[in-house]
Chains A and B, each alone.
Chain A
Amino acid sequence: MKYNIDSRGYYGKFGGAYIPEMLYPNVEELRENYLTVMEDPSFQKEFNSLLKDYVGRPSPLYFASRLSAKYETQIYLKREDLNHTGAHKINNTIGQILMAERLGKKRIIAETGAGQHGVATATVCALKGLECVVYMGEIDIERQAPNVARMKMLGATVIPARSGSKTLKDATNEAIRDWINNPIDTHYIIGSVVGPHPYPDMVAKFQSVVSAEIKSQLLTQTGKDAPDYVVACVGGGSNAAGAYYHYLENTDVKLIAVEAAGYGVNSGESAATSVLGKEGIIHGSKTLLMQTDDGQITEPYSISAGLDYPGIGPMHAHLFDTGRAEFVAITDNDAMNAGLELCKLEGIIPAIESAHALAIFEKKCFGKDEVVVLSLSGRGDKDLATYISHFNLI
């Protein structure tokens, strides 16, 4: 297990739980219980049946023939965009709401960037009748208005995060402060493979259903259960973690992580953490993060709210550090063009986050017979306003 978590909660030198003492009991309760709860047959049964009947899993693995023809390679899209609520985020929130229930929690908090995780959390709270509070950066509230409305319809309270860059990082700070203030009855549903141990591992395990399905679907469709490449965008890294999970130790499968370059890696307006980041501590985890020489966390930028985060999960920091995954940075423009191209070639409107992953085909050549599985992490409905203004569509 070179690339997965060790018994101390680290991926190589990354991970751990760098948390104030005020959070220790909450995080420790989770750490002590999460594996036992997840392995419990009754948990597995409920988790799997909700994934099937409520989320609509397995999500299709779709051979994108026109896209493949254009780029002269074999492209399979893992259709997480077809999940209930429109992204991979729901895999994690279903798992965590069942966890919260078993830990006896009555109140749920979450942070959200694009609003997909907020919607997925509000959804499972409605499903279970639990109180739900979602923190969202003020800027994200503006650029992801439909998702704010969705959360409210689902009964959640959306609280604007007004500090710092007013985006995902700050929403996460506010959620953590809420948890400090409400240590007993509240569970914090983190939305990616970030935060203190055991979150990165727990979220990766809930998302690992994605690569479990890819394996069996690929076997049926191609006769081989492993592709040559798995490509995914990385904000915090949960859709990537899910798509990589069962291939982590199989080094014949090359992993590509796509980060958001914003206006360009050297423009000063970017979220390409692997290029711009250094080792440090963010949100309770030792990982790579964008920061000043003085150790202040930098405000990132991306057109995509879900990738607008100055860190990456510790698993990805380790995959970068060891060279297990190749990291590629894609600009706003290239992502938007790739998104539009998928609409035209395949009739699929992707989330702008996923469009970053799609832009890999303009950046990198793949062999004619090579199989590339790409995590289409979400659908683009939430991004219509951004597409409209970027392409002057109306």
Chain B
Amino acid sequence: MKNRIQKTLANNQKIVSIYFTAGFPNLNDTCTILEKLEKAGVDMVEIGLPFSDPLADGPTIQESSTQALKNGMTAVRLFEQLKDIRKTVSIPLVLMGYFNPILQFGVEAFCQQCKAVGIDGLIIPDLPVDVYENEYKHLFESYGLLNILLITPQTSDTRIRTIDSISKGFVYMVSSASVTGSQKGFGEAQTAYFQRIASMGLKNPLVVGFGISSPETFAQAIEHTNGAIIGSAFIKHLREFGVEKIDQFIEKIRGH
């Protein structure tokens, strides 16, 4: 049986994916946001489990995480909120979280809960590839969860091939050497990088994330790849409009 992520990427040439931090702007916005994103035509969502010390994130996602934690978001709460989400939302859902909260929850219990609520994949930026392979791969797989791994412009070709061989959903291409949210636009270096990776003929689809904030950057990102993930720009939208006008945000990013 194919995972929802695989199906979506097989059917769809260019996907739009949204990241948001669970518990932001309000503790109980999670399901509303997910439902509105699906209605707006978003193909996949990454739900961020907030962490006190998000090393790979820029100020926008940091602040949303701090706010979400203040609002009382925890892994337990998030799973409670998501318990009936598959009754209303059918697009693939990926949980993104740093490793420490997952360790404290218990990695197996976490996987169990993910499966129970209908999560399709995980992105754990600070779980290194070798530790994943040696200690957790069998667990993730036994709960049908795809572990999504990242590559960056500095990742060597050999390592990209290794990551591709371990990955089953897609390869997450970090757009540039940076934390989330810091790009103003993509220059030649980035487009060259998108092209270079696209021409490697990897078995997994490529989805670009970090720094996609406008119709222009979105268009640049998907030109050579299978889709793009918008995070900080969407968080800013939530900050300004709450859960309103989500459809307009998506329309605008798509450029029509």
Contacts and interface: CB of A to CB of B under 8 A. Distances in A.
A102 interface: no
Interface string B67-88: 0010000111000000000000
Interface residues of B, number: 39
B155 interface: yes
Contacts of A283: 55
Contacts of A176: 55
Contacts of A367: none
Contacts of B53: 164, 169, 173, 282, 297
B6 to A, nearest CB: 22
B91 interface: no
A163 B179 CA distance: 15
A294 B174 contact: no
B154 interface: yes
B52 A177 contact: no
Contacts of A297: 52-53, 100
A183 B76 CA distance: 36
Contact of A284 (B52, B76, B126): B126
Contact of A21 (B52, B69, B174, B178): B174
Interface string A161-202: 001100001000100110011111000000000000000000
B56 A281 contact: no
B177 A295 contact: no
B109 to A, nearest CB: 12
22 contacts: A16-B131, A18-B99, A18-B131, A20-B126, A21-B155, A21-B174, A25-B155, A173-B53, A180-B177, A180-B178, A181-B178, A280-B104, A281-B98, A282-B53, A284-B126, A294-B76, A294-B101, A294-B104, A294-B105, A295-B104, A296-B51, A296-B69
A19 interface: yes
A375 interface: no
B179 A180 contact: yes
Interface in A258-291: 278-284, 291
Interface of A: 16-22, 24-25, 163-164, 169, 173, 176-177, 180-184, 278-284, 291, 293-297
Given A177-B179, A180-B178, A180-B179, A20 B55 contact: yes
A183 B55 contact: no
Given A21-B155, A177-B55, A294-B74, A280 B103 contact: yes
Contacts of B104: 278, 280, 291, 293-295
A75 to B, nearest CB: 39
Given A281-B126, A294-B104, A296-B69, A21 B55 contact: no
Nearest to B177: A183
A295 B52 CA distance: 9
Nearest to A22: B152
Given A19-B128, A21-B155, A181 B99 contact: no
Nearest to B182: A181
Contacts of B51: 295-296
A380 B128 CA distance: 41
Contacts of B126: 18-20, 281, 284
A21 B99 contact: no
B56 A20 contact: yes
A163 B105 contact: no
Nearest to B52: A296
B150 interface: yes
A21 B102 contact: no
A295 B98 CA distance: 10
A17 B103 CA distance: 15
A101 B204 CA distance: 39
A25 B154 contact: yes
